[in-house]
Amino acid sequence: MNGSQPVVFVDADDTLWENNRWFTAVIRDWAGFVGELGVDPDDAVTVLHEEEDDHIPVYGYGARPFCHSLRTAFARVVTAPDAAVVRSFETFVADAETRIRDHRIDLLPGVAAGIATLARAARLIVLTKGQPDEQNAKVARSGLAAHFESVRVVPDKDEICYLAAARDAGRAPEDCWMVGNSPASDVNPARRVGLRTVLVPHHAPWHRDMAPLIDSGPETLVVRTFGDVPPLILATVRTA
């Protein structure tokens, strides 16, 4: 039975549970912190995003890399801070890392039932980018771990990543699905190499996740919530 079941890769952050909201809250607080030191909050956020642009290709995603960007952004926007300000900022960053890394898991609509339904007829694999310890801990806290065959944490999601994931699952790309909220990383690169894709849009997406859907490759199915995913995938499998 396992050999005939479809392989469904599922993104984690902002597909299974809320994630960007925690980063957004820290960024808001960061802007307020440096704003009290005379820095324009909008300028501070712009600088932080610039630091992330430089650091993500090197350090990847997650709480630790993000907090590294907070530190380097602080060094750019706050000139000659005194020792008390530096101590206060380091406390802020330590708290921010904990808030992001250990945040509570709020499953998105339809996820609990949808994953349980898919798991009865498909091989489910989490395919997420970030820090392995952080992402594995979130899967464990989610209550969904028993439904997944494995958790695959990658530095980034590109065409090579999806080809490798399909190969390691023992399937051709066209026999695999990718389900996620990001056109930029979950859908377009998977679609380019032949995976079938389902887009579950997030209500407040991270700006780096946004991109137009490409025209090539198998057409992307777009759903309202994760609860709409199982019938689409399973119906396609039954009629394939």
Q: Calculate the alpha carbon distances from 62 to 13, 52, 78, 137, 207 in Å.
A: 10, 11, 24, 12, 15
Predicted local distance difference test score (pLDDT) of residue 5: 86
Predicted local distance difference test score (pLDDT) of residue 216: 86
pLDDT digits (tens, 9 = 90+) for 196-230: 999 999 999 999 999 999 998 889 999 999 999 99
What is the b/e burial string over 160-192, where b = at least 16 CB atoms within 10 angstroms of the residue's CB? ebbbebbeebebebebbbbbbbbbbbbbbbbbb
* pLDDT tops 80 at residue 167: yes
| Mean pLDDT along residues 114-130 | 97
* pLDDT tops 60 at residue 1: no
Mean pLDDT of the chain: 95
3-state secondary structure of 233: helix
pLDDT digits (tens, 9 = 90+) for 2-35: 557 899 999 999 999 999 999 999 999 999 999 9
Predicted local distance difference test score (pLDDT) of residue 238: 56
